[in-house]
Structure 1
Amino acid sequence: MNSPRIYLSLTVIMLIWGINVSVIKLLVGHFMPVTITALRIFTAAITVFLTLGLLGKVRMPRGKEWLYIIGGALLSVVGHHYYLSEGLSKTTAANGGLILGLGPLLTAIFSMVLLKQRPTKARLLGFLLGAFGVSFTVLAGSGGIHHGSIGDIEVFLSILSQALSFIIIKKAAESLDPKLLTGYMLLIGSLLLFLISLQKEPGGLASLTGGTPAIWAAFLFSAVLATALGHMLYNRSIGQIGAAETAIFLNLNTFFSLIGAALFLGEALLPAHFIGLLFIVPGVLLGSGSMEELILRRRRKLQQR
């Protein structure tokens, strides 16, 4: 897959993930959070393995690959989802949104430190523009950021776990198909989350009997399309264009989640949200390297004439 198609697929994934925020809000409103999260991720894992099984791409991991899988499961699945659900229950949406907006910058920092990658000035500017756009968007909808709390720390641990997992995925992609890596991570992570839910939510399994057909349809959208397909394509993109370059697209997730909330939850969209988008889009174009790639292509065409 060439870069333009990767960028397009990542944009579509961010749209799906943005809508998925509203879907998850509906799910945790009907079921106990950790229990339904464990079931959602387990369903996604089964979907990934069925898909790869039909394509003949399932194999047992070898040697060091198990370390990448377990590390990725602990960080990307257990750490990220557990701390996110716990943190957002104790802090404001404004605080949580701002902290999650640090994801691309944290990934860039880890890429520089752990992968020895040095972003260009244009890409660094893109990360900063994206972070500012996310901050502006969240603050515009909340009227300001509130005092810190233990929830803020937990949300930060959530995005820290996810950013670190992107580095593991990038390293693992050198020998293991990122789509297969996704399946193993989701499977192991869902089982660990289920064990956590048994302790924290004794009535979690009983709460699953109260779902309506519409709620379970929303569950399948979240599990199959957003979690299974979305993470397979996202993790494949990390292996193709890099962890930091892929993570910059997460800035779009904030705006798309606002669109989804307006369409499905009736929340208001403000003019200031679109002003934030004016910073997010160029941030993505610069931070992903797509703008630099376009300029280089034009220079090559001019040189060939």
Structure 2
Amino acid sequence: MKNSQIYIVLIGVMLLWGVNVSALKVLVDHFSPITITAVRIFTAASMVFIILFFMKKIRLPHREEWGLVIGGAFTSVVAHHYFLSDGLAKTSAANGGLILGLGPLLTAVLSVIILKEQLTIWRLSGFLLGGIGVGFTVLAGSGGLGEVSIGAMEILLAILSQAFSFIIIKKASEKMDARLLTGYMLLIGSLFLLLIALWKEPNGITSLRTGSVSIWLIFLFSALFATAIGHMVYNSMIQKIGAAGASIFLNLNTFFSLIGAGLFLGEKLLPAHFIGLIFIVLGVSLGSGALEYYMRSMRKMGTEDKGVE
């Protein structure tokens, strides 16, 4: 696959994930948030294992892999999706999408702290700009500062949990296929989410009967395409161009989520949203190392071109 084709595929995945923020907002507004999230993740896990079955990639994790699988399930699925679904029920999809755009930045912070990666002045500047962007986002919205802040804080916890999971996944993928790891994390995480839902939302299963055909079509889009196929395709693209190259495209997730919230939900996009977007994209580009990666690539291409001459 040529680089141009890889880039088109990654843009497509970011479009799916951006629109999925609006889809999730619709789902948590119509059903009990934790219950529908558990069912959605279980459906996605089933889809992943069906695909892996035909790819002949299914195997049981080895004894030393189970700890990483369970750790990834709790951070990437249980904590991330619990806070995401509950947070989106308390704030707008626009706010949620902007804060989710901090994913690469928070992953870079944890990589510096846990994996001892180098902290450059560019990354330090990115952390500051990203924080400013979150500030504009949290203060934006017509629902009132208190309401927005609660939902925004839960979205922050959701993306922080996911950032921790990326560290775990990086270690686990050295031992097992990342797509198989994704399947097990989704399956185990969905079962734990279901237990939480039965405890916190005793009428959650009953609420599933109220969904219309259009709502369930949105559910299938979110579960099968955005969650199952989206994550599998993104992970396979990482294998082709590396995590740094693929992370550049995560910035588009924020952009598409904002556009989706405006087009599909009719949410009002305020100037503060776009100010927050600018700061977050700048912060992610600097803090995640994406800009440095791009500059190194350009210098390398320039050196190679001179060598050819």
TM range (shorter): 0.7 to 0.9
Give the count of matched residue pairs: 303
1:75-224 equivalence runs, <5 A: 75-89=75-89, 99-118=99-118, 138=137, 142=141, 146=145, 153-224=153-224
Residues 1:265 and 2:265 are matched in the alignment:
yes
Partner of 1:51: 51
Amino acid of the residue matched to residue 302 of structure 2? R
1:215 shift after superposition: 1.2
SS in 2 for 1:72: helix
Identity fraction in percent: 59
Bigger mean CA deviation after superposition, 121-130 or 249-258? 121-130
Matched, 1:294 2:306: no
Q: Residue 19 of structure 2 aligns with which residue?
A: 19
TM-score w.r.t. length of structure 2 = 0.82
Instruction: Give per-residue Cα distances to partners, 1:234-262, cap 9 Å, x unaligned.
Output: 344556624x7655544332221111112
What is the letter of the counterpart of residue 221 of structure 2? F
Q: Name 2:242's counterpart in structure 1.
A: 241
- Is contact 1:40-1:223 (8 Å) kept? yes
Classify 1:270/1:299 alpha carbon distance in 2 versus 1 (closer, same or farther; 3 Å).
Answer: farther
Q: Shift of the alpha carbon at 1:129?
A: 5.6
> What root-mean-square deviation, in Å, do the aligned CA atoms of Structure 1 and Structure 2 show?
3.4
SS of structure 1 residue aligned to 2:61:
coil
Cα deviation 1:199-241 (Å, max 9, x = unaligned)? 1111111111122221111111100110001222334455662
Asked whether the equivalents of residues 98 and 254 of structure 2 are also in contact (C-alpha less than 8 Å), the reply is no
Cα offset, 1:185, TM superposition: 0.2
- SS of the equivalent of 1:117 reads coil
Determine helix, strand or coil for the equivalent of 2:145.
coil
Q: Report the Cα distance in structure 2 between the residues aligned to 1:150 and 1:29, rounded to whole angstroms.
A: 16
Deviation at 1:119, TM superposition (A): 5.5
User: Counterpart of 1:72?
Assistant: 72
Q: Normalising by the residue count of structure 1, what TM-score does the alignment of the two structures yield?
A: 0.83
Q: C-alpha offsets along residues 15-65 of structure 1, whole Å, 9 cap, x if unaligned?
A: 111101111111122211111100100000000000011011111111221
Tell me if the contact between 2:25 and 2:88 (Cα under 8 Å) persists in the aligned partners: no
Letter in 2 for 1:29: D
CA–CA distance in 1 between the matches of 2:279 and 2:306? 30
- Structure 1 residues 281 and 254: CA distance shift in structure 2, 3 A: closer
Write out aligned runs for 1:30-49 (5 A): 30-49=30-49
Contact 2:100-2:254 within 8 A present in 1 as well: no
Aligned partner of residue 170 in structure 1, secondary structure = helix
- Sort the Cα spacing of 1:149 and 1:275 in 2 relative to 1 into closer, same or farther, 3 A: closer
Q: Is the 8 A contact 1:130 1:248 kept in 2?
A: no
User: Cα 1:116–1:241, aligned 2, differ >3 Å: closer, same or farther?
Assistant: farther
Aligned counterpart, 2:308: 304
Whether the 8 Å CA contact 1:131–1:251 is kept in 2: the answer is no
CA distance in structure 2 between the partners assigned to 1:176 and 1:124 by the alignment? 33
Give 5+ residue unaligned stretches, structure 2.
Answer: none
Any stretches of 5+ residues in structure 1 without a counterpart? none
Q: Deviations over 1:144-191 (max 9, x none)?
A: 993696655543332221111000011111111111100000000000
Contact 2:31–2:207 (CA under 8 A) maintained in structure 1: yes
The whole-number CA distance in structure 1 between the counterparts of 2:181 and 2:33 is: 25
Change (3 A) 1:281 1:199: closer
